[in-house]
Amino acid sequence: MNKFFKILIYTCPLILAVILVKFTGVISDEIYETNNLLTYSGVLIGFGLTLYTFGLSILKDIYEVIDKISFKKIENKELIIKELKAAFKEIRNDIVVMFFAIIAIFISTIISNTINPFEWDVEYLKIPEILKMSVFLYTTFALADIMKSLFDLSKLIFKN
């Protein structure tokens, strides 16, 4: 993937968070309170870890099924195994994003309760609010990416 598009994809939730916080009142909703964000992120991490461990537990069975499928070309089998590994790597990366989101929630709470950290005008810049909105968006995008990886995997395995 082009480096520009990777940077755009990784920064898109942050840019969207800035826009939503600065120009809408959505951050005042109850879901963006620290306890609710921790619960939301924790549930998503639990969901992601459950899917990942379930996938790992049936990985041997998946490889056996792949071995039993007759492929017209050996490249198709190698492609499926490569895609399988890539999907698990993607899910693992999304779980790491969710873990760092929880750390970001704690940082936003500390910043919002600290008077003038780093000599920044925290109230004007709305740093804690932007951080909380970013956490919500990044974890939601990570969940969507986990779902996409699993759906792509199922399409890949069941089409052969």
pLDDT digits (tens, 9 = 90+) for 102-146: 888 888 888 777 766 567 666 677 878 888 888 888 888 888 888
43 contacts: CB under 8 Å, gap ≥ 6: none
At 108 the pLDDT is 82
**What confidence tens digit (pLDDT) does each residue in 26-83 have?**
888 787 788 888 888 888 888 888 888 887 777 777 777 777 766 666 667 777 778 8
Q: What is d(CA 85, CA 97) in angstroms, rounded to the nearest whole number?
A: 19
Place of tokens 């804690």: 128
pLDDT tens figures, 3-32: 776 676 778 888 888 888 888 878 887 877
pLDDT of residue 29: 78
Give the three-class secondary structure for 33.
coil
Q: What is the pTM of this model?
A: 0.76
